[in-house]
Amino acid sequence: MDREESKQVGLCASCRHARVVTTPRSRFWLCSLAAVDPRFEKYPRLPVLACPGYEVTPEGGPAPAEDAGE
């Protein structure tokens, strides 16, 4: 992820709860907390500038999603 994309994504870009779904035409940012907490949207509106669920990932980036469904 380059610096420009990081700016467009906001906090999700470095959050441990974020998952990236990549398709041939685009990338979607998914919040895994949405599955267990209704305060969060599965596909948050970007950029996310403030979020009560934000936790920085030790790896410095999101994990790829297992599937691109739903």
Q: Residues in the site for ligand SF4, rule: CB under 6 A? A: 11-12, 15, 17-18, 31, 33, 40, 44, 48, 51, 53-54
CB 59 within 8 A of CB 23: no
Closest distance between ligand SF4 and the C-beta of residue 66, in Å? 16
Q: CB-wise, 23 or 40, nearer to ligand SF4?
A: 40
Q: Which segments within 1-70 are labelled E, that is strand? A: 18-22, 27-31, 63-64
Which is nearest to 41 in space by CA: 8, 18, 68, 21?
Answer: 18
Closest distance between ligand SF4 and the C-beta of residue 16, in Å? 7
